[in-house]
Structure 1
Amino acid sequence: MKAFALLAPLAAILSISKLALGQLQHDSIDAPDQGPGFHDVHGRGSKPNFIVFLTDDQDQRYNSLDYMPLVNKYIRKEGTEFTNYYTTSAMCCPSRVSLWTGQFAHNTNITDESAPHGGYSKFTEQKLDDNWLPGWLEAAGYSNNYIGKFINGVTQSRKYAPKGFKNTHWEPLVSPGIYTFYDPIFATNDGPIERLTGKYQTDVISDKSIKLLDDLATNKTDPFLLVISPTAPHDEVWFDKGRTIFTPPVPAKRHEHLFKDARVPRSPNFNPDDQDKVSWIQTLPKLTQDEEAQLDEKFRSRLRSLQATDELVERVIQRLEDHGQLDNTYIIYTTDNGYHLGTHRMYAGKQTAYEEDVNIPFLIRGPGVAKGRQNDAVATHTHFAATVLRLAGLPTPDHLDAPSIPVLAQDDRNAASFQSETFAVEFWAGAFMENKTFRSTQNVYKSVRVFGNGNNFFYSVWCTGEHELYDLTKDPYQIHNAYAKTLVKKPYLIDRLDALLNVLRTCKGQTCRDPWSVLHPIEEPNGGNKGGPLKKVRSLKDALNKSYDDYYASLPRFAFKDCRNYYDASNELTVPKSPPQEDL
């Protein structure tokens, strides 16, 4: 049986975008089967508490967690670390919104740090707090509480709490004191501004968190969510006559002397002599010795600034234990996005789809979570909402773009309810290097990551028409762009990856959770052979069966019309497949 006979070749495939936009019938996804012991792990009939430590721009690839002994002691060794955990948009505001809504940025339409395409004003204008994790928890009887950075755009005139926090404790950092370590500005429950010049931000957050935790712990009946979000290790940000100035993060004075010999790891992709990235990156000059030295000092400043966060984690967990609440609490440590330091000649910053910017820390401890374990199951911030709901024993809305992470020791990560072989990373807001004059309007891309069954691919399409392909099993530092060579030698692989990206670029809900069901909506004879057993295509490995080559070769390609620094669905389209020589 020819695979391309399963669907009408071109006309039907042009409807992939419509299918991915959610016009398929969505199935409701209730909480997956947690096994008979699930409710017992945190007390039968009770709901667990959640404490979330959410840092800002913390790296995974430069091993900053290794410099945090207390996080290692209290969370890493007492819980599970997910090593393949990602943000799906490498910028603070879109990433944080995806974490709380469980949706990709193309569904939230929060794609930048500030108006008109992002920030707190756009978040509230779009009423995203009508349908998000804090609201679902509140409806189930949770007391939701927040201290620290939420997203950019919380100002002295726009400091009101979003839904889910209006009736409890909402204490955000407020502009222009969000990114100032010794001049933080807070507002509690839309009340008076509290400016604490001379006080160290993380220590203030620590004191506030302990006081709030003491209040929460006195109520033994209502479960709670407590989010603690210091801005370390983010740069300090200052505003001067329309200019935005970045300076290295400032440690507490007691930590200024630490890590004098630390420097950015000199991995193979650090300031390379040669590289074959897309054009705007490829043409970057090599960093000078002075710039490398600046990056090393920034690296040390970042590590030093995280030490107060390390102490904060210990203090909160010990106080939780004092109140007898530790055994009934899930403690999560993560960040909003990663950070590059000299990768591919890029000065400090984020915003690309490369591993340094999107692979981020995620640690969890709590009832039923394995201790001292690393787990390489694929997960992203879009999985976070479903994960918390599942651990709380609550149903999961069917519009979420990702399922729960298999965080419990008893979980079978290969179960259909946990399958997340692939996800998209997307970006529209251009690029800049912090505290540099460099700007690029060509950092607009859609990319897809595929893990599992021996595959580990990164494939991207850029607004310039350029492509990248990396096999991270062979090239973990993304040094050699294999797109052109693969297009000639293994065009069938490009066909599959591009088709997958074509689904994920506009997916919603079920189509994000199972994109292969769009490309293969029915069970098919195994291997395309008539009379063979029926098999559902669930992975790239399944889709790589040779019998599907003609089908995938018939599909159109994904492309941008031009480089627009905001999300515009009409700017993203499918185009007829070009001959190989034109692609080259």
Structure 2
Amino acid sequence: MTIAGVRRKAPLWLATAALAAGLAGCSGDSGGGAPDTGRESPSASAQRTDSAQSTNIVWVLTDDLSSDLVNYMPHVKAMQKSGMSFTNYTVTDSLCCPSRSSIFTGKFPHNTGVFTNMPPDGGFETFHEKGNEDKTFATALQQQGYRTAMMGKYLNGYQPDMTVNGKKNYVPPGWNEWDVAGNGYKEYDYTLNQNGKTVDYGHDPADYLTDVVSAKGQEFIENSAKAKKPFMLDISTFAPHGPATPAPEDRDAFQDLPLPKPPAFDKTPTDAPQWLKDKKAFTPQQITKITKTYRKRVRAVQAVDRMIGDLQEKLKKSGVYDNTVFAFASDNGFHMGQYRLMPGKQTAFDTDVNVPLVVTGPGVEQGATTKAVASNIDICPTFTELGGGKPDPATDGRSLVPLLHGETPEDWPQTALVEHHGPNTSPQDPDKPGKGSGNPPSYEALRTDRYTYVEYKNGSHEYYDRGKDPDMLHNVYAQLPSDTKKNLASALLKLQGCKGSEECTAAARTD
């Protein structure tokens, strides 16, 4: 692989100088960021306030976690009681790389250029070549004097031993601490890029990846607190993405856990699109396979939940818990038998695009739930504002800080946009759909707090009135008045062409 001078090599046990941040991130402030060396630049040091005065941020992002798994995560359920849950949080695509690109930058796929997991329209290579790494929440926070750490999974196609633009063991701009794996899905036998050095891990219990990044995250919190510096920790787990390997202590858990069978299980919607309409009822063998997959996923999130509890405990012992915003989410959802689909993602159904987002911390309403429309493009401007910066108007999203404080601005967006390029046929893609799991063609979708509208490139459409049909089992597009169809198409066209928070907010209004 080459990326403007990017090439893969065998692991190199050599430290390298990390790249300078250079640009302001998704902050609107101008000027250079702190260099990516683990040391503060003079400008960042001058801007920095100590951790007792600045809001720290811990961001736990899971991979393929669907809402039904939260029932088996007691620490996340405790977060729901002590913080705010977003019931209408939508991802820009139910696919790892485009979703994560939107999180980092605050931009829709049509503005990041990342629609899939691999080139030519996706993956780390595209994210890098489009210049997205120069403006992320990491560069924004680092410019505000924050210590920043990225641990776990970055973007599909990134490898710890990469050479990018002549820099070995590439570390992107904006990060002071970098402990990132390439192919860590199996949780064992992986390589980490640890601040410019490749370190191989094996198959011992102590090498379990979720536990490794948990320990590193706790150490980062402790060191940042001791240094009295504000910090931002991003721990992105590979769990519960397949093969959903559990931690050693969870291997024998949930052996008899029954498979949930919600109303959409083993059913297709009326007037389903062509790619879905001919699905046949499950065989007993298929249901057995889905059940086994579900149990594996429940086992896999146990370590993630323990990690959340351990991180919270470390924050408390370090004396910074009360001054830390702690957020939990997933990059996309996952269907488990709904719509007669074997386990998978990439559809516009709520199983795949409506994922958990729970936030706790100072000023956040406790035990609150908001139905306001939110999206993963809102994460970057939110973190930027929490860090004392001004969100860049060039980002498409809006800061969620007003919502966290119980206020919904009058001009708040009412529509989320989903953009998907398909079908996915790349054999190298870890997210290539398995047999019968669903592999829709390209589509664009609107999701409000009450309906979902899908427009496929091949000309077919879906419309689900979720107020009346929460399980999305009745496609009523054909029954809509012609004016409504025209208005939906027009609204979608505006959103899929918008750029910047002002224009995208206006396009996301339905009134």
CA contact (8 A) 1:370 1:408 kept: no
Q: For structure 1, which runs of at least 5 residues remain unmatched after alignment?
A: 1-27, 31-41, 237-248, 517-538, 543-584
Tell me if structure 2 keeps the 8 A contact 1:154–1:172: no
Hey, what does 2:394 align to over in structure 1? 399
Whether contact under 8 Å (1:107, 1:508) holds in the other structure is: yes
Report the CA distance between 1:439 and its aligned residue: 8.8
Q: Which residue of 2 aligns with 1:100?
A: 104
Cα distance, 1:298 vs structure 2: 0.7
State the secondary structure of the residue aligned to 2:128: helix
Look up the SS of the partner of 1:77 in the other structure. helix
Q: 1:162 aligns with which of 163, 167, 172?
A: 172
Cα distance, 1:227 vs structure 2 = 0.8
Q: Is 2:493 the partner of 1:502?
A: yes
Which residue number corresponds to residue 60 of structure 2?
53
| Residues in 1 aligned to 2:174 and 2:306: alpha-carbon distance in whole angstroms | 28
Q: 1:212 to 1:482 in 2, by over 3 A?
A: same
1:322 and 1:439 mapped to 2: Cα distance? 45
Paired position in structure 1 for 2:505: 513
- Where does residue 46 of structure 2 map in the other structure? none
Partner of 1:344: 339
Q: Is the 8 A contact 1:347 1:434 kept in 2?
A: no
Distance 1:29 1:472, change over 3 A: farther
Within the candidate set 272, 281, 286, 1:286 is matched to 281
Q: CA deviation at 1:445?
A: 0.3
* 1:282–1:94 Cα change, 3 Å: same
Q: Which amino acid aligns with 1:482?
A: V
Please list, as runs of the form range in 1=range in 2, the aligned pairs for 1:131-142 lying within 5 A after superposition.
131-142=135-146
In the TM superposition, residue 261 of structure 1 has moved relative to its aligned partner by 3.5
Q: Name the CA shift for 1:442/1:308 in 2 (closer, same or farther; >3 Å).
A: closer
Specify the code of the residue in structure 1 equivalent to 2:75.
Answer: L
* Residue 20 (structure 2) aligns with: none
Q: Is the 8 A contact 1:442 1:463 kept in 2?
A: no
- Aligned residue type for 2:499: K
| Aligned-residue offset at 1:192 | 2.5
Corresponding position: 1:449 with 2:443? no
Letter in 2 for 1:493: T
8 Å CA contact 1:273, 1:286 repeated in 2: no
Deviations 1:107-160 (A, max 9, x none): 101111122222222222222111221111111111110110111112143241
1:21 alignment counterpart: none
- Look up the match of 1:70: 75
Pick one of 219, 228, 231 that aligns with 2:235. 228
Aligned residue type for 1:425:
V
Cα distance in 1 for residues equivalent to 2:352 and 2:345: 5
2:453 aligned with 1:459, yes or no? yes
Q: Deviations over 1:381-419 (max 9, x none)?
A: 001111112222321111111212255554421433xx0
Cα offsets for 1:244-290 (capped at 9, x unmatched): xxxxx121121123223433321221111664211011122222111
Residue 171 of structure 1 corresponds to 179
Matching of residues 261-272 of structure 1 within 5 Å: 261-272=256-267
2:189 is aligned to: 183
Instruction: Mark the CA change 1:305 to 1:435 in structure 2 (over 3 Å): closer, same or farther.
Output: same
CA contact (8 A) 1:442 1:464 kept: no
Taking the aligned partners of 1:147 and 1:217, their CA distance within structure 2 comes to 18
Give the alignment partner of residue 416 of structure 2, picking from 423, 435, 443.
Answer: 423
Distance change >3 Å, CA 496–CA 129, structure 1 → 2: same
Give the direction of change, closer, same or farther, for the CA distance of 1:44–1:169 in structure 2 (3 Å limit).
Answer: closer
- Correspondence 1:152-551 to 2 at 5 A: 152-158=156-162, 159-165=169-175, 168-175=176-183, 178-198=184-204, 199-220=207-228, 222-236=229-243, 249-272=244-267, 275-406=270-401, 410-416=405-411, 419-431=412-424, 436-437=434-435, 443-451=441-449, 456-486=450-480, 490-509=481-500, 510-515=502-507, 539-540=509-510, 542=511
CA offsets 1:479-509 (integer angstroms, 9 cap, x no match): 11101111xxx22222221110110111111
Q: CA RMSD in A?
A: 2.3
Gaps spanning 5+ residues in structure 2: where? 1-26, 30-48, 163-168, 426-430
Distance in 1 between residues matched to 2:380 and 2:193, nearest whole Å: 26
**What is the Cα deviation at residue 458 of structure 1?**
1.1
C-alpha displacement at 1:44, in angstroms? Answer: 11
Contact 1:80 1:365 in 2 (8 A): yes
CA distance in 1 between counterparts of 2:407 and 2:218 reads: 36
Residue type of the alignment partner of 1:485: Q
Work out the number of aligned pairs and report it: 452
By how many angstroms is 1:303 displaced? 0.7
> Does structure 2 retain, via aligned residues, the 8 Å contact 1:102–1:381?
yes
Deviations 1:342-398 (A, max 9, x none): 121111111111100000110111110011222211101001111112222321111
Contact 1:55–1:229 at 8 Å: present in 2 too? yes
Show the counterpart of 2:22.
none
- Contact residue 103 and residue 401 of structure 1 kept, 8 A: yes
Letter matched to residue 334 of structure 1:
A
Percent same amino acid at aligned positions? Answer: 32
* SS of 1:446 mapped into structure 2: strand
Q: Given residue 450 of structure 1, which amino acid in structure 2 is its aligned partner? A: T
Q: Deviations over 1:154-177 (max 9, x none)?
A: 214324111101xx11110123xx
Q: TM-score, normalised by structure 1?
A: 0.74
State the structure with more CA Rg. 1
What is the distance in 2 between the residues matched to 1:347 and 1:77?
33
| Structure 1 CA distance for aligned equivalents of residues 379 and 467 of structure 2 | 26
Report the counterpart of residue 558 of structure 1 in structure 2.
none
Find the residue that maps to 1:54 and give its secondary structure: strand
Name the CA shift for 1:115/1:434 in 2 (closer, same or farther; >3 Å).
Answer: closer
CA distances 1:517-551 after superposition (whole Å, capped 9, x unpaired): xxxxxxxxxxxxxxxxxxxxxx53x4xxxxxxxxx
Q: Measured at CA, do residues 461 and 216 of structure 1 come closer, stay the same or move farther in structure 2, by a change above 3 Å?
A: same
Q: Secondary structure at the match of 2:197?
A: coil
State the one-letter code of the partner of 1:197.
Answer: H
One-letter amino acid matched to 1:200: Y
1:514 match: secondary structure: helix
Structure 2 Cα separation of the partners of residues 420 and 273 of structure 1: 31
Q: Is the 8 A contact 1:334 1:361 kept in 2?
A: yes
| CA distance in structure 2 between the partners assigned to 1:261 and 1:114 by the alignment | 38
Question: How does the TM-score come out when normalised to structure 2?
Answer: 0.84
Q: What is the alpha-carbon distance in structure 2 between the residues aligned to residue 79 and residue 118 of structure 1?
A: 34
Output the CA distance in 2 between the equivalents of 1:284 and 1:485: 23
Residue 113 to residue 458, structure 1, CA distance change in 2 (3 Å) = same
Task: Evaluate the alpha carbon distance shift between residue 284 and residue 434 of structure 1 in structure 2; reply closer, same or farther with a 3 A threshold.
Answer: farther
Distance 2:51 2:302 in 1: 37
Distance 1:475 1:352, change over 3 A: same
Q: Secondary structure at the match of 1:266?
A: coil
Distance in 1, Cα, partners of 2:421 & 2:258 = 31
Q: CA deviation at 1:442?
A: 5.0
Q: CA deviation at 1:334?
A: 0.7
Q: Is the 8 A contact 1:330 1:366 kept in 2?
A: yes
